[in-house]
Amino acid sequence: MQAITPVPPTAFTPNRLAGKVLLVTGAAVGSIGGCAAIRGAREGASVMCVDRKVTELHETVREITSFGGTAVARVADVAKTADAENMVAECVRRFGKLDLALNAAGVMDGTDPAAPPDFANQKSLLPAAVHEATDEYWNSVLSNNLTSMFLSMRAELRQMVAQKAGGSIVNIGSIAGLTGLPGNPAYSASKHAVIGLTRNAAIDYAPHGIRVNSVNMAQTDTPMVFRAYEFVKWAMAQGAGSSMAGAKAQSLLQMADPDKRGSTPWEQAAIILFLLSDDASNLTGLAMATDGGWTAY
């Protein structure tokens, strides 16, 4: 089988985002948002990086400043109204405006991704089929994946509309927004809703020259996936798990790859930066399957 070489971490389109201000939620180092923030800065944008993981967030900003890029770190919980509004206010205070936004903050389960997993003591926050799922798990996932997206978009769109200069927003969904996902109903429901919110905003803000799209990936090698592996190992050791859990485990490209490689966050960043840029001037309302063909079969 012939391997496909992934986009290298150093790839970028020079000056594509020159003069632009980009806000990224979920920008901790190693995450999809973190990689998009770094590539966005390489392309010339000033970047407001937001996350609730303090050390990992500052690591993204450190990497950007190390090559002469411009970035600011903002520790915030974007599931909270005040934090979402203040991050945009701070972005405008530091950089004078907001042109582009990537809403990448999200969680797999109800636990805090900033804290080490302690699954045995966090059962009420872990994924479970509907009949076994708790209110706590449901509310936490919906809050971090969906309410956070609404709050971030509202703050970003208020600023973009007031500026009267258009804009571009990319929201991160998942293949779980396009298909079901065994054993994690809150994740799947929240990601379907991200696509709905994206399409709705695309309609409402087209008259303002603001494009709104979503990207929906399969397995991408980030801290979220490493944590999910830990969870699966733990759940299997408990004898738990949906009988359908192994129904389809790989994307088309992953299956065809000699090393069964998933997507890299740099591959996702490349697609996201294209959507944010003027190269995608005729794209809006898209639920783009950036999934290595997962939903093609």
Ligand X SMILES: NC(=O)c1ccc[n+]([C@@H]2O[C@H](COP(=O)([O-])OP(=O)(O)OC[C@H]3O[C@@H](n4cnc5c(N)ncnc54)[C@H](O)[C@@H]3O)[C@@H](O)[C@H]2O)c1
Q: Which residue is nearest to ligand X (CB)?
A: 106
In the window 52-91, what residues touch ligand X (CB under 6 A)?
52-53, 76-79
The size of the interface with ligand X (CB under 6 A), counted in residues, is 31
In the window 30-49, what residues touch ligand X (CB under 6 A)?
30-33
Which of residues 111, 222, 284, 290 is near ligand X by CB under 6 A?
222
Amino acid 97 reads K
Q: Which stretch binds ligand X (CB under 6 A): 100-108, 235-243, 245-253, 270-278?
A: 100-108
Residue among 32 and 210 whose Cβ is closer to ligand X: 32
Task: Tell the smallest beta-carbon distance from residue 207 to ligand X (Å).
Answer: 28
CA 126 vs CA 8, 157, 239, 261: distances in Å? 34, 33, 15, 27
187 is catalytic: yes
CA gap 121, 142 in Å, rounded = 21
CA gap 145, 204 in Å, rounded = 21
112 Cβ partners below 8 Å, 6+ apart?
52
CA gap 141, 113 in Å, rounded = 11
Q: Binding of ligand X at residue 28 (CB under 6 A)?
A: yes
Q: Which stretch binds ligand X (CB under 6 A): 13-21, 116-124, 217-225, 249-257?
A: 217-225
The helix/strand/coil state of 72 is: strand
Q: Is-contact 115 54, C-beta < 8 A?
A: no
Residues that bind ligand X in the complex, under the rule CB under 6 A? 25-26, 28, 30-33, 51-53, 76-79, 104-107, 113-114, 144, 148, 172, 174, 217, 219-220, 222-225
Q: Which residues are part of the catalytic machinery?
A: 187
